[in-house]
Structure 1
Amino acid sequence: MIDLDGQVALVSGGSRGIGAAICRALAGAGAKVAVNYRTSEAAARELCEAIEARGGQARAFAADVSEAAQVEALVESVTEAWGPVNVLVHNAGLQHSAMAHRMRDEQWHAALGVNLHAAFYLARAVLPAMRTAESGSIVFIASASGSIAQAGAAGYVAAKHGLIGLTKALALESARKGIRVNAVSPGLTDTDLVAELSPEQRAGLLGMVPLGRMATPDEVAATVEWVVRGASYSTGNVFHVGGGVAMG
């Protein structure tokens, strides 16, 4: 397992749900965790306090990662505080529910902005230091929707498919510099978003999952930690944590 002691990990959308679980896992493995948030300042600071209470290191950093200038400022702030980013996890995501013929321009652009453009902006910002160090790990949180279709979410599906393509392209470009780029692809996960569904909607989604249950955020985070620490000879791959929903 790769030692994360003293390494700097930046997690976008890290204040809640899967992102918070990833922050806890990486901090528990010894990393200094930069918890990025856009609006959930209280949740981000509460998470940092909880991590520090357990002997870890974490700080909250505000930024809208769909904006290139804010991403550059975010990475500069993290670097000034702790040094270059060694591990990047792009977890921030956004989904709008609308059939394509009813989807507004702003919904389409928002879905691509947070789910795909942000991944590129973040990777572009951290890659120069990683290339100089000839090491680093980038993990993009994809989705089962990056492998299969989902009605009523054209922007989200398109962005997550694109994210997997970006994973492979960056992995190929970065491999000779010792940088690994992979994706972790969750399926139905027990987060605040799922809590908003009706019992009928939950039952319908669970009916698509061969294992018959939702993942917990900690299960997704455990896979991310393994990809960062244990999958030392893996790059350009997609690791599914979806209970079998993307089998084919």
Structure 2
Amino acid sequence: MIAVRLPTPPESDRQVIEAKDLTKSFGAVTVFSDVSFDAGRGERLMIMGLNGAGKTTLLKLLADQAVSDSGRVRIGGRTSMGYYAQEHEGIEDGKSLLDHMRLSASIGDQELRGVMGMFGLSGDKAFQDAATLSGGEKTKLALAQLVVGGHNLLLLDEPTNNLDPMSRTAVGEAFSQWPGTIILVSHDPEFVRALQPDRVLMMPEGQLDHFDESMLELVELA
């Protein structure tokens, strides 16, 4: 059982992030074109679409982990962005869990280990090679890194993958109470219900709509 509590985020400007006319292709295949949207302080925006619609690619563009063919992303003033990558690209073999946490925040080891403990990564687990972690433990480590980052904008790409049901519930409750800005990709309807997104961005069209609980039926297909 984990007990997650997210710290109060630093205040951002009213407009946290804006994307304008983003286009991305892989070879001759255009994944999406001319996608524009913004997200304000405290807003929850969910990106939806079928497999291959460019949801993860769009998050990577926002996180500056990929380059668009055209268009731009503007980060608002006082915005601190954290990115949860679905494939845990930021977790490196040969480094301990505590090493990873030290890269995420300049605070003492005791405090870092306290955050890890919230996710059930306690005791000697802190010194374990991250290569030996299960999928669920890697998810917990990546989420712990986000928590200590002091961010006010979180980009979340399937953040409940590999978690057991009780952990998914605890993570959902924690994020639902967090007042920062969240841009989310998820096929977990219970997590989405907990977050109660304000708006939905339908991909690859880039169409914005208000979130409605009837959309939960589509979440597992996304």
**TM-score scaled by length of structure 1:** 0.27
More strand by share: 2
Structure in which a larger fraction of residues adopt helix: 1
The answer to which structure, 1 or 2, has the higher relative contact order (CA under 8 A, 6+ apart) is 2
TM-score by length of 2: 0.30
